[in-house]
Amino acid sequence: MKAMPICEGVYWVGAIDWNLRNFHGYETEKGSSYNAYLILDEKITLIDTVKEGFAGEMLARIASVIDPAKIDIVISNHAEPDHSGCLREICSVAKNAKVYTAFGAGVKNLTAYYGDLGYVGVKAGESLSLGKRTLRFVPTPMVHWPDNMVTFMTPENILFSNDAFGQHYASDERLDVECDLPEAYIQARKYYANIVQPYGMQTGKALAACADLPIRTICPSHGIVWTKHIPDILALYTSWVGNVCDDTAVIVYDTMWHSTEAMAHAIESAFLACGLKPRLYNLHYSHNSDIIADAMTARYIAVGSPTLNNNMMPSVASFLTYFKGLTGNRKKCIAFGSYGWGGQSPDQVYEALLAAKCQPLLPAVKQAYKPSAEQLEQITASVIAAVQSDQASL
Ligand code: FEO
Q: In the annotation, is 48 catalytic?
A: no
131 C-alpha vs ligand 1 centroid, how far in Å?
29
Determine the length of the chain. 394
Task: Using alpha carbons only, give the angle 115, 41, 225 rounded to the nearest 5 degrees.
Answer: 80
Phi, psi of 352 (to 5 degrees): -65, -35
pLDDT in tens, 297-326: 999 999 999 999 999 999 999 999 999 999
Q: In the annotation, is 168 catalytic?
A: no
Lowest mean pLDDT among 35-39, 166-170, 249-253, 326-330: 326-330
284 C-alpha vs ligand 1 centroid, how far in Å?
29
The residue from 57, 82, 89, 294 that is catalytic is 82
The residue from 24, 116, 212, 285 that is catalytic is 24
Task: Using alpha carbons only, give the angle 384, 388, 390 rounded to the nearest 5 degrees.
Answer: 120
pLDDT in tens, 184-226: 999 999 999 999 999 988 898 888 888 888 999 999 999 999 9
Torsion, Cα 174 177 182 185, to 10 degrees, reads: 60
d(CA 151, CA 162): 9
Other C-beta atoms closer than 10 Å to the C-beta of 181 total 15
Q: Which helix (H) or strand (E) holds 12?
A: strand 10-12
CA distances from residue 252 to 6, 160, 242 in whole angstroms, order as listed: 42, 37, 24
What band does 357 get if pLDDT is binned at 50, 70 and 90?
very high
pLDDT in tens, 260-290: 999 999 999 999 999 999 999 999 999 999 9
Contacts by 368-377 with C-beta closer than 8 Å and gap 24+? Answer: 368/338, 368/339, 368/340, 368/343, 369/259, 369/338, 369/339, 369/340, 370/257, 370/258, 370/259, 370/262, 370/338, 371/259, 371/262, 371/263, 371/266, 371/338, 376/262, 376/263, 376/265, 376/266, 377/266
For helices 230-241 and 200-210, give the axis angle rounded to 10 degrees: 140
CA nearest ligand 1 atom 2, residue: 80
Mean pLDDT of 129-149: 95
Residue type at position 30: K
Residue type at position 58: M
pLDDT at 328 over 80: no
> Domains, the chain, ranges and CATH?
4-241 (3.60.15.10), 248-389 (3.40.50.360)
| Bridge partners of residue 279, in order along the sequence | 250
What band does 381 get if pLDDT is binned at 50, 70 and 90?
very high
Report CA 284 to chain centroid distance, whole Å.
23
116 C-alpha vs ligand 1 centroid, how far in Å?
21
d(CA 133, CA 8): 12
Atom number in ligand 1 closest to CA 144: 2
Q: What is the pTM of this model?
A: 0.96
CB 137 within 8 A of CB 130: no
Kindly report the average pLDDT of the chain as a whole number.
Answer: 96
The residue from 83, 144, 168, 229 that is catalytic is 144
Lowest mean pLDDT among 24-28, 211-215, 303-307, 347-351: 211-215
CA distances from residue 354 to 124, 289, 323, 360, 385 in whole angstroms, order as listed: 38, 21, 12, 7, 21
| CA proximity to 76, closest of 105, 40, 41, 42 | 105
Other C-beta atoms closer than 10 Å to the C-beta of 107 total 22
CB 83 within 8 A of CB 117: no
Q: How many CA atoms lie within 13 A of 244 on its CB side?
A: 9
d(CA 74, CA 59): 14
Q: Which residues contact 367 (CB under 8 A, 6 or more apart)?
A: 259, 260, 263, 336, 337, 338, 339, 375, 379
| Ligand 1 pocket list (CB less than 6 A) | 78, 80, 82-83, 144-145, 163, 221-222
pLDDT in tens, 245-256: 999 999 999 999
CB 79 within 8 A of CB 113: yes
